[in-house]
Amino acid sequence: MIMINVQEKYKINSIKFINSLIMPEFYKYVIKNQFDVIDFYLKKIKYADRGNKILTTTITKLKLIIPDYVHNNLPSAFLNILPKSYTVETKGEYDIKNKKAKFQSYSSIFKLINSTFTFNFSLEDNENGCTRKMQFEMKCKLPLIGKKIEKIVLNKIKETNKKRWKIIDDFHSTI
């Protein structure tokens, strides 16, 4: 299991931040602005605990992009079974009162590589907006190459998250 932590600063407060992540316009904006996202939408939303919790299910269809340095270091038999795109279903729970959220992602590609992927975040308001502290966790149980896959996936998350931060920040300027 490998874990990474990421910290981001936004120019809006935590409540507006959380609300922005469940707006239909947000999903359309991500599709338009993130090159590896083919489709992204909110499948289900449910309010619980008198509105203090928001339970969501999102669907994301992504292009499978394997960097050359990774492609060259994985067995060809393994590469031949990988799809060109994959779909991720993510179940989320936003805790409005405590300014936290946690997510579990599911995908056939995660099953294929015998892995689990979770992430969570907390928000802290400040005079300029809010800071989001994120933690990503990848666990791959494949013998021999599991640790390598964990590192590859989390490095890809770091790279993608920098781009996603910019997309979210730009989206906030449109609302």
Looking at residue 5, its pLDDT comes to 94
Looking at residue 66, its pLDDT comes to 77
What's the CATH number of domain 2-172, 3.40.50.1220, 1.10.150.110, 3.10.350.10, 3.30.530.20?
3.30.530.20
Looking at residue 47, its pLDDT comes to 96
Q: What is the pLDDT along the chain (175 residues), one digit of tens a residue?
A: 889 999 999 999 999 999 999 999 999 999 999 999 999 999 999 999 998 999 999 999 999 887 777 777 777 887 787 778 999 999 999 999 999 999 999 998 889 889 999 999 999 999 999 999 999 999 999 888 899 889 888 888 888 888 899 999 999 999 8
The overall pTM is greater than 0.85 = yes
Looking at residue 20, its pLDDT comes to 96
B/e letters for 101-115, b = 16+ CB within 10 Å, e = fewer, are: bebebebebbeebeb
Angle between helices 146-172 and 24-33 in degrees, nearest 10: 110
Looking at residue 102, its pLDDT comes to 98
Looking at residue 161, its pLDDT comes to 86
Residue in the structure block whose two tokens are 């499978």: 64
